[in-house]
Structure formats: C-alpha cells, structure tokens
C-alpha cells in the first residue's frame, strides 16, 4: 500500500532570498508555474521582510497577488519577521504566514535584530491582530546554531511551550546550517511528539553536510507532518554564516517515490523546473539530479 507524504516547496522564498542579483518577477512566476504544474499543493511564495535586509523579496506582494489569482487549489504562504510583514501578507491576500524565531538568541539577533523575548511579543501581537490568519511557527537553529553550536532539546520544549501559550500549534523545526544528524533528528521529533502530541511538526533541513535527504527521511519516520524542500536545493539564510542550500525537492521526491511514498509530485516535471531554475539563477544549489544530463531511467512517470 502506498504511503502518503506532504512535501512543501519553499524554493521561491528560502531558495531565492540569498541570490544577490534580482530575479525578474516574471522568472519567479514562471518557476512557480512549473512547480504547480509538477503537482505542488503548498508553496512558500516569498517573504514580507524589510527590503533593506533582503532586497530579493521586494516583489512578494505582486507575486502573492498573482499566484493567488492564478491558482485557486494551491495553498500559498509567506515568511514574516514581524507584525508589519504579517499585515502586508494579509493585505496581499495570503491566509497563512510563518513568523520566524530562532532557538538561539544570537541567531535571532542576527536574523531579525530582536531578542527572542521581543520576537515572542511580536508573535503575540500577530496572533491578536490577525485572528483569522493561519500561523505555522518557524523555529530556526533547532539542530545547531552557527554562533552558539549545539542547542538543547529542553530549550526547544520550553520555547515551543511558550509559543503554544499564544495559541499556535503548528511548528517547522529548522536546521539552519545543516548541523542535524539522524539520531538528533529522531530525539527532537520524539520529544515533540511526546510532549505535544496534538500539535503539528514539520521539518526543514539545509544540506550543508550532505545529510538533508537522510535527516528529512528520519524526521518523516519519527512523525514529521510535512517536509520542506527547495527546487534545485537552492537556499540559505543570509544571516547564518555557513548556510548552504536546502534539501533538494527533486532528490527528495525521487527518493520517497522509490521508497513507495506517494508525494503527489511528478518527478519529471519537477526536474525540468529545477533545471530551468539552475539555468536562470546564479545561486547556491545543493541538488544532485539537476547535474545529471539525461533523465534518470528508474522513474518512468510522465
């Protein structure tokens, strides 16, 4: 029997955000077209952040408005750092946002120039001022911080507990600079499922040490509700030294389909989009199959 798995595409946000040269809005939209065509039902289309911090994301309102108009059956969502960005996302028509906070104080300061306490205050305001907005909370540096090193699972339990008190019950656990390893991923997901059995936990792994696919798979085996990945394996947080690409969507889909999971994604179409991304964007790609000249012969679906 086939097992279903939900894969969420984050390339148009995490993939594009660290690309220095501005990617024309039309190219971004063409890539999203390709992802929808490949079968994606949930896509992070951008972020509503300061254009001084991340100039690449300055066209997120136009992207959101266009894709919401173009594709009715797809869930689009955006990353936000604060209330200002959340209101901008709502104005553009989005129904879901992912505020970001880091488990480590230093990365939170580097990323959003706020202490974690200030970020928690901001999340509280977002929850109160946008009561109808669906919120999934991104937590960065869960599996390690470029400034502070290893993070503790107890600290994560405390932070998740604090965010739950604000009425948020869906979390994405992020490995910002690829410090996760299988037994740690297992420990973290088991702890979350044990302490917060009613809540949703998603996984987001960077591929810095070539363990993105493996760690995503381990998270899935230990109850992750969805897996995030970026087309081509493009990506990285510009405020995390050493951050490299995300787990590659096409490599992940290939592995899961071969293992008998139903992803709902057409691999051949996804790979075509990934190759288009690589041809158009000068960035940091961690994907492997984008470099194989011919279509791999194992998966035969069109």
Ligand X SMILES: CC(C)(COP(=O)([O-])OP(=O)([O-])OC[C@H]1O[C@@H](n2cnc3c(N)ncnc32)[C@H](O)[C@@H]1OP(=O)([O-])[O-])[C@@H](O)C(=O)NCCC(=O)NCCSC(=O)C[C@@](C)(O)CC(=O)[O-]
Distance CA 112, CA 120 (A): 12
- Nearest distance in Å: CB 55, ligand X: 11
Rounded (10°) CA dihedral 234, 261, 98, 17: 10
Rule CB under 6 A: is residue 28 a binding residue for ligand X?
no
Size of the site for ligand X (CB under 6 A): 26
Is 224 a residue that touches ligand X (CB under 6 A)?
no
State how far the alpha carbon of 119 is from the alpha carbons of 42, 151, 214, 301, in Å.
Answer: 26, 18, 31, 45
Angle at 273 between CA 271 and CA 277, to 5 degrees: 115
Q: Which of 19, 71, 84, 169 binds ligand X (CB under 6 A)?
A: 84
How far is residue 37's CA from residue 19's CA, in Å, rounded to a whole number? Answer: 24
Give yes or no for residue 140 binding ligand X (CB under 6 A): yes
- 56, 82, 137, 244: which one contacts ligand X (CB under 6 A)? 82
Which residue, 127 or 269, has its beta carbon nearer to ligand X? 127
Residue 126 burial (CB < 10 Å; 0-12/13-18/19+)? buried
DSSP 22: P
Pick out residues in 35-74 that bind ligand X (CB under 6 A).
47-50, 53-54
Q: How far apart are CA 43 and CA 106, in angstroms?
A: 29
Q: Which is nearer to ligand X, 34 or 85 (CB)?
A: 85
Least CB distance to ligand X at residue 177 (A): 8
The residue whose two tokens read 């901001």 is 122
Q: Tell me: does residue 143 bind ligand X (CB under 6 A).
A: no
Provide the greatest CA pair distance for the chain: 52
Cβ 58 to ligand X, closest distance in Å? 9
Catalytic residue among 174, 237, 259, 297: 237
Pick from 7, 11, 14, 211 the residue near ligand X by CB under 6 A. Answer: 14
Residue 267 in the binding site for ligand X (CB under 6 A): no
Cβ at position 268, least distance to ligand X in Å: 28
Q: Does 113 bind ligand X (CB under 6 A)?
A: yes
Backbone torsion region of residue 235, taken as left when φ is above 0, otherwise alpha when ψ lies between -120 and 50, otherwise beta:
left
Residue 251 found at the interface with ligand X (CB under 6 A): no
User: Which tokens in the block code for residue 173?
Assistant: 């656990």
Closer residue to ligand X, CB minimum distance, 140 or 271: 140
Q: 237 catalytic, yes or no?
A: yes
Q: How far is the CB of 214 from ligand X (least distance, A)?
A: 17
Distance of closest approach, residue 287 Cβ to ligand X, in angstroms: 17
Give the H/E segment covering residue 96: strand 96-102
Q: How far apart are the first and last CA of the chain?
A: 21
Binding footprint of ligand X on the chain (CB under 6 A): 14, 17, 47-50, 53-54, 79, 81-82, 84-85, 88, 100, 111-113, 138, 140, 174, 176, 204, 206, 237, 239
Q: Which residues are catalytic?
A: 237
């Amino acid at each position: 029997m086939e097992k279903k798995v939900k894969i969420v595409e984050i390339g148009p946000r995490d993939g594009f955000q660290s690309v220095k040269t501005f990617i024309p809005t039309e190219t971004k939209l063409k890539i999203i077209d390709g992802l929808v065509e490949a079968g994606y039902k949930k896509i992070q289309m951008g972020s509503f952040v300061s254009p001084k911090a991340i100039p690449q994301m300055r066209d997120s309102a136009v992207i959101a408005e266009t894709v919401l108009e173009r594709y009715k059956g797809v869930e689009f969502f955006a990353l936000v750092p604060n209330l200002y960005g959340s209101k901008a996302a709502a104005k553009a028509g989005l129904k879901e946002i992912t505020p970001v906070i880091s488990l480590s104080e230093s990365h939170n300061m580097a990323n959003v120039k706020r202490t974690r306490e200030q970020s928690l205050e901001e999340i509280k305001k977002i929850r109160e001022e946008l009561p109808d907005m669906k919120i999934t909370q991104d937590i960065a540096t869960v599996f390690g911080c470029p400034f502070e090193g290893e993070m503790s699972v107890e600290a994560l339990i405390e932070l998740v507990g604090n965010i739950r008190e604000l009425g948020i019950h869906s979390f994405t656990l992020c490995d910002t600079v690829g410090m996760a390893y299988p037994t740690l991923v297992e420990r973290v997901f088991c702890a979350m499922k044990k302490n917060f059995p009613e809540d949703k936990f998603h996984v987001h792994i960077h591929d810095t040490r070539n363990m993105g696919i493996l760690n995503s798979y381990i998270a899935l085996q230990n109850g992750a509700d969805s897996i995030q990945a970026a087309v081509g394996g493009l990506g990285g947080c510009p405020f995390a030294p050493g951050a490299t690409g995300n787990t590659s969507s096409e490599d992940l889909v290939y592995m899961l389909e071969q293992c008998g999971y139903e992803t709902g994604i057409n691999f051949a179409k996804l790979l075509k989009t990934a190759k288009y991304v690589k041809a158009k964007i000068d960035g940091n790609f961690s994907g492997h199959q984008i470099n194989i000249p011919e279509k791999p012969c194992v998966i035969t679906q069109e």
